[in-house]
Structure 1
C-alpha cells in the first residue's frame, strides 16, 4: 500500500478518481503514473497538507527515538527517497552549555525499501535508487571543525540545496570522503540544520534519487518546517527524559537499598515505576528495627507524579525513621508525620500505613492514614483483609489517628502495598483488593496448608496479577513473613539498681544458657552482661531489665530509665573504668543502643559458636 501523505493530481483529472486519505491528502485510483516518475507536489495546498500531516506525526512522538522515527517515516518516500538524521553527541539539556568539540552522530537513516508490493493497489511503485548511491551514504560519527564549511551551514540555520558551494563542501565532512560523490546533483539533496530553542542540535539530509524529479525552491520551506518541528520536539523530549531520569533516580535512592535482617521476621519488597514515561510518583516503603527485637513496617504514597512528589516522599520517609527511633506508638508517628507534611507548605497529601510487629508477643499494632488496608495471608491459605480504621490522609491536619492491635501468628504473611497494585483505569480499589486476596490464596494452595509460599516468589506472583493496562501508577510492595520467637526462647528479668545486680545478672544468664544447651557462650555472655548491667545500675533510678533471646543468634538486651546513650571511647591506662563498651565492641557480633521514651536499651549479639 502507498504510504500516507503522498500528494496526487487534483480531483477531476480525466481518467482518474480522487479519494481522500486520513491525513487530508487526495489520492487517485485508476490510471497510474509511469514507472520512474512519482507524482510531484505541484500545488501549494499539497505542500501545506503534507507539512500539516508530517508535523502531526512528529508531534505524536513522546521520547527522542519516537520523534526521530516520526520525522523519517513522514518524509520517506513522500518527500524524499532517503533521509539521514544527525544529532549532537551528547545532546545538551535545557540551559546546559555543551563542552568539547561539536560531534554529530547518525541517529537514524531511512530509505525506500528495495521492494514495495503495489500489486492491485492502483499506484505506481516508487523508483528505487541504485545501491551504489543512496544506500552507501552516511557515516556513524562526524566531528564539526570550527570554521569549516559544515559549521557555516549549521550556523546559517536555514536549509540549503547541497548544490550550493558551501553545502557541497560540507558533504565530505558530514558523510565521509565518498559522501559528496554519493549525493546526486541537480537539487536532489537538502541539508537542513536542526535548531532547538537555544542552539543547533543536529542536521537532517533529505535525498532524492536521480530518476526522481528534483526538489523545488518551495521544498526548502517544507524542509525548514520539518526541521523546526523536529528540533523543538527533540529538545523537549531530551529535557523531559532527563527530568524523568533524575526524578526516578531520586526516588530510588530514597528507597531502602537493602531491607534489614530482623529477628523473628523475614522481609521482601518490590518497587515498580509507572509504565508511562516520566510518571514518577511518591510511593515508598521501609522496615526499621526497633528495641526489643520489634520491627516497624511502613508504606506510603505521596499524591501526584513529579520530582516534588519524590522529594516530599524522601522527607516523610526520613521523618518516619526519626520518629520510629523514638519508639513512639504508631498513631503518634502518623500524627507527627501529619504535622511535618503541613510544615512543608506544599499542596501535597499522602497516605501512609505504619505497623509495629513484636515477635515475642506475636502481635502487631497498626495505624492507618487513608491507605489501602493490609492483607494477612494465614498459614492455612486464607487471605484476610485486616480491619484497620482508614483515617484521613497525611497533610489534612487536625485529625486523630487510631491504632489497632491484632494477632500475628507464626507462619502468616503480611502484605503492605500502595494503590497502584490494586487500582487502575480498568478496576476500582476494592475490586483490586478482592483480586489480590484471591491471588494470595491461590498461591498459598500451591505449597499446601502447612508450608507458606516462598516470600520472594510470593511477591513475584502478586505482581503477575497486573495486566497490560494496570500500570497507571507506581507500585511499592512490602511483604513480612512472621516467624516469631517462641516463649521457650526468651528469658526476661527485672534487676534492682544495686551493687549486687551485675552478679545476679551473670548467674541468671548462665542458667538460661545451660537450659538452652549453649554453655560454650557462658564466659563471653557473663563478661559482657556484667559490663553492660554495671553501667546501667550506676545511674538508673528504677529496676533494670535484662532479656535474652535465642534465635539464629543470641541477643542480650539491657534497659534502664536513663536516656543518655553510651559512647565508645578508648580508656587510658590510668582509668579505672570505661572499658565495658570496648569489650562489647571487640567481642560481640553486633551491638547498639536505642533511646526510648522511658530511657534506653543497650543490646549486643553473639553467634552460637561464641
Structure 2
C-alpha cells in the first residue's frame, strides 16, 4: 500500500510562500482558499498514512482532542486519545476498496479537567498519488454531541411515554385493591426494577399482626410484592404479602411519604449496617441489592402508601430520571388504588346493609314453611338491590314479595329498603294486590325517587287453596311439583314500579299442594348473549328431589346457576304449605 509517510509533507507545512514561489498567481490563490477551508472551518480534518498514523491534523481537531498538532503526528488515534471508541475495521476497509465510509467516534476529549464526553460523525476517504498508489486516508469529522444527546433524550422520552401508556392499560384493570397493587409491582419489575413492593398505610382496616402499634410509628401493610426469579430466591427470608411493619421516623418509606418526594439511596457495599433497620439492610446487601427507590403513592386528598423498588447485581443504580418516571407511574397507579379502596368500602357497606335487611323475612303463619337465599354476583360487580319478604296477613293468608331495584351500590341497597318498607305498609291496609302495586308506583314517582324496581307479589289463601299474583315487570314464578318437575306460572306483567303510569292486574292460580312456590330475581337465569326465554326454559328442565327440604331444593337451584356465568345478584324465596 505504500511506504511510511509517503505524502509530500511540504504540502502541509507552514511555509506556504516558499512553497508557492514558483507557482502561478492563480494556483497560489486556490491553495490559500483551500487551506483556509481546511484550517479555518468548524470541521475536524486529519490525514492518515496507511498504518492509520496522523500525518496532518488541522487546528480545530487539535483543539477538540486537547493535544497539540505536532504531538499527534506519527501516532494513531488510540495513542493520542486512549479509550476512544472507534471501529478500526472501517478505515481498514476504506483502504482496501476505496469506498468512503461513515463512522461514529465517541470518547472523552479535551485537556486536563475540561475533558468531556463527545461524539463525532466522521467520513473516511482513500488517498492515492499520481501513480495510483494508495498513500493513506483523509478523515473529516463534525461534532454531533448535542444533536445525539437531544435524540437520545427524545428516544428516552418516547420510551417513558410508551411505558406510562402501557401502565394505564395494565394497572387498575379491576376494582380490586390487591389486584391493582399486584399489577403495579409486576409492571415495574418488568420495566423499571429488579424487585418491588407496595406498602399501604394502615388506617382503620383490620390487619393480621400479633403486635400492637408502638407509639410514634407509622404502620404499613405489604399489599403486593414481585421480583425477578433470581432475586426472589435470594430474598426468601424477607416479609411477604400481608405482613405488617412499623416504620419509625428514620424509615426511608416514612420519610418519603411524609415529604411527598421520591427517595433514592445506594446501599454501602462494605460498611456494616447500623440502626433499627440494620438486619433488613444486611439481608438486602446479601441478596446483591445496591440501589433503592421509594416513591409516594398519593392522591389529591390523602396518602395511600409507597412503592418501593430495588436494583441488584449488574443493574445500574437508580437515577433522578428513574425517580421522575416512577413518580409519574405512581401518580397514575394511586388514583386506580383509590378507586379500588373506595369501591371496596362502598361494596362492603352495601353488602352489609343488604344482608342486614335480608337477614330473615318476616315470620309467616305457622302453616307456611319458607326458605331464602341471597348470592352476590361472582364477578366483583357492585352489590345490587335485590330483596324478598314474607308477611303474615289476617285469615291465615301469607304474602310473598320479591323485587329488584335497578342499578347497583349503596344507593340501590337504600332504595331497596324503601321499597320493602312501603310494601309492608301497603300490605297492612288490606287492599288488593294490583292496587298495592299501583299505589307503590304512584308514591315512588311522586317522590322524585329515580330508582325503578321490578316486583312480584304472591298471596296464598288456604281457605280457597289458591295463590293470587300481581306482577310489576318481574320474571314469572316457578312451581316445583311434588314429583320434582319444574314449571313456570305464566302471568301478565305491568311496568316496573316508579314510572307513575303502572296499570296492574291480580290473577289467581291453583295452589301447589305438596309442592313448592319459588320466587327469584333475574340473576338466576339471565346470561349475556342468551335470550331470556331460552334461560327460563332451561330452568324448567331441572329435576329436583321430590319432597326434599327447602334448603336442599335451593342449594340445587343455585348449583344450576353456578354452571353458567352469573353476572348479577341472585335472590330466592321458596314457600311450601306445611302438613300436606
Aligned to 1:58: 171
Other-structure match for 2:422: 319
CA 1:191 to 1:460, structure 2 compared with 1: closer, same or farther past 3 Å?
A: same
**Offset at 1:111?**
1.9
Q: Render the CA deviation track for 1:295-325: whole Å, top value 9, x for unaligned.
A: 1111111112232222111111011112222
- Alignment correspondent of 1:389: 492
Q: Is the contact made by 1:159 and 1:224 (CA closer than 8 Å) also made in structure 2?
A: yes
Asked whether the 8 Å contact 2:194–2:227 carries over to 1, the reply is yes
- Out of 242, 260, 263, which is 2:363 matched to? 260
User: Is the partner of 1:470 in helix, strand or coil?
Assistant: coil
Is 1:470 the counterpart of 2:531? The answer is no
**Structure 2 length normalisation: TM-score?**
0.65
* SS class of match (1:50): helix
Tell me which of 139, 151, 160 is aligned to 1:47: 160
Q: Secondary structure at the match of 2:571?
A: strand
Which of 181, 186, 189 is 2:282 aligned to?
181
Question: 1:398 aligns to what?
Answer: 501
Q: RMSD value over aligned CA atoms?
A: 3.2
The answer to whether 1:418 aligns with 2:534 is no
User: What is the CA-CA distance between 1:261 and the residue it aligns to?
Assistant: 5.0
- Trace 1:208-607 onto structure 2 (pairs within 5 A): 208-257=311-360, 260-439=363-542, 442-443=543-544, 446-447=545-546, 452-467=547-562, 469-483=564-578
- The CA distance in 2 between the partners of 1:193 and 1:221, in whole Å, is 12
Contact 1:256 1:286 in 2 (8 A): no
Matched, 1:80 2:210: no
Deviation (angstroms), 1:349: 1.6
Q: Does the 8 Å CA contact 1:301/1:418 hold for their aligned counterparts? A: yes
Q: Which runs of 4+ in 1 moved over 6 A?
A: 168-171
Which of 222, 225, 229 is matched with 1:109 structurally?
225
Deviation at 1:454, TM superposition (A): 2.6
Residues paired across the two proteins, number: 414
- TM superposition shift of 1:238: 0.5
In the alignment, which residue of structure 1 is the partner of 2:119? none
* Structure 2, unaligned runs of 5 or more: 1-151, 207-214
Instruction: Summarize the Cα distance change of 1:149–1:422 in structure 2 as closer, same or farther, 3 Å threshold.
Output: closer
Q: What residue in structure 2 maps to residue 16 of structure 1?
A: none
- Distance in structure 1 (CA, Å) of the matches to 2:317 and 2:250: 30
Supply the distance in 2 between the matched residues of 1:149 and 1:306 (Cα, whole angstroms): 39
Q: Secondary structure at the match of 2:540?
A: helix
| Cα pair 2:452 2:499 within 8 Å, conserved | yes
Alignment of 1:5-16 (within 5 A): none
Larger displacement relative to structure 2 (243-252 or 338-347) = 338-347
Per the alignment, residue 259 of structure 2 pairs with 156
- C-alpha distance in structure 1 between counterparts of 2:232 and 2:418, whole Å: 61
Cα deviation for residue 149 of structure 1 reads 6.3
TM (norm. structure 1) is: 0.62
Q: How much does 1:148 deviate?
A: 7.0
Cα distance in 1 for partners of 2:176, 2:162 equals 25
Q: Alignment partner of 1:415: what SS?
A: strand
Counterpart contact for 2:405–2:451, Cα < 8 Å: yes
Question: In structure 2, how many angstroms separate the alpha carbons of the residues matched to 1:177 and 1:138?
Answer: 15
Distance 1:182 1:408 in 2: 74
Distance 1:416 1:70 in 2: 41
Q: Deviations over 1:9-36 (max 9, x none)?
A: xxxxxxxxxxxxxxxxxxxxxxxxxxxx
> Which of structures 1 and 2 has the bigger CA Rg?
2
Aligned with 2:323: secondary structure?
Answer: helix
Task: Tell me the secondary structure at the aligned position of residue 301 of structure 1.
Answer: strand
Out of 151, 158, 183, the position equivalent to 1:70 is 183
